[in-house]
């Protein structure tokens, strides 16, 4: 019998999540009219920032992008091709164009980060936080490099909250001894669906009400 663990899914999921966040970083850099190097840096930190922070905190080596260095070449050529394509076709890059790949990366990275921490037998709250950090930190770095307050902090739409709820669902499904394919892909799918629904339905979290002087 083949034993399926998070490591079985790590490479394909991390590749898909990396591409999704890389696209969000590429679009964000292009919208800010950065040069090719700037777009590559923003794309890289969006793609690898969350997973790198997770592996640092969990003391996991080597990092994904070091162990699979060929993906750096793929990302480089993706940036160059996308920039040339968008300029030649005069594609209008909207704010919403970032949100769809970002939502996909959010779901995949949150579920995978949580499952990896569970496999290392971390406490439940640590597992959930590892999922959130993996999913959110790359987007935070992307926005900082683009000279913006991270959207995860100031747009009042559920983002990290959805990732945290999905990470807890990963933990619950593991406690129910569900197959790890279900433990990872069901929460990832639900996170994506709820994030997209929150964007298009305009769901908002309560905001601070501070009276001006």
CB 96 within 8 A of CB 8: no
pLDDT of residue 166: 95
SS3 44: helix
Domain membership of residue 176 (yes or no) is yes
Domain membership of residue 1 (yes or no) is no
What pLDDT, in 10s, does the model give residues 33-63? 888 788 888 888 888 888 889 989 998 888 8
Give the chain's domain count: 1
What is the C-alpha separation between 142 and 42, in angstroms, rounded? 6
Neighbour count for residue 180 (Cβ, 10 Å): 20
Domain membership of residue 127 (yes or no) is yes
Domain span holding position 158 = 6-85+93-201
Domain membership of residue 169 (yes or no) is yes
Calculate what percentage of the chain has a pLDDT beyond 70. Answer: 85
pLDDT of residue 153: 80
189, burial (CB in 10 Å: exposed 0-12, middle 13-18, buried 19+): middle
Domain membership of residue 209 (yes or no) is no
Domain membership of residue 39 (yes or no) is yes
DSSP state of 179: -
Domain membership of residue 78 (yes or no) is yes
Longest dimension (CA), the chain: 68
Q: 4: closest CA among 180, 147, 160?
A: 180
Domain membership of residue 211 (yes or no) is no
Task: Output 154 or 113, whichever has higher pLDDT.
Answer: 113
């Amino acid at each position: 019998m083949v034993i399926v663990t998070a490591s079985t899914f790590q490479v394909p999921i991390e590749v898909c999540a990396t591409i999704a966040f890389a696209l969000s970083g590429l679009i964000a850099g292009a919208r800010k009219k950065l040069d090719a190097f700037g777009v590559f840096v923003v794309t890289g930190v969006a793609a690898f920032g969350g997973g790198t922070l997770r592996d640092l905190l969990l003391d996991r080596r080597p990092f994904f992008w070091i162990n699979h260095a060929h993906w750096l070449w793929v990302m480089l050529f993706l940036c160059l091709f996308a920039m040339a394509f968008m300029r030649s076709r005069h594609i209008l890059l909207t704010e919403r164009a970032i949100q769809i790949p970002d939502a996909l990366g959010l779901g995949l990275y949150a579920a995978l980060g949580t499952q990896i921490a569970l496999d290392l037998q971390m406490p439940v709250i640590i597992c959930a936080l590892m999922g959130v950090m993996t999913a959110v930190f790359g987007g935070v770095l992307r926005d900082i490099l683009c000279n913006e307050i991270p959207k995860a902090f100031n747009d009042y739409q559920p983002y990290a909250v959805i990732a945290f709820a999905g990470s807890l669902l990963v933990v619950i499904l593991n406690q129910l001894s569900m197959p790890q394919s279900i433990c990872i892909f069901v929460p990832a799918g639900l996170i994506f669906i709820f994030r997209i629904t929150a964007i298009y339905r305009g769901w908002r979290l309560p905001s601070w009400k501070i009276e001006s002087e």
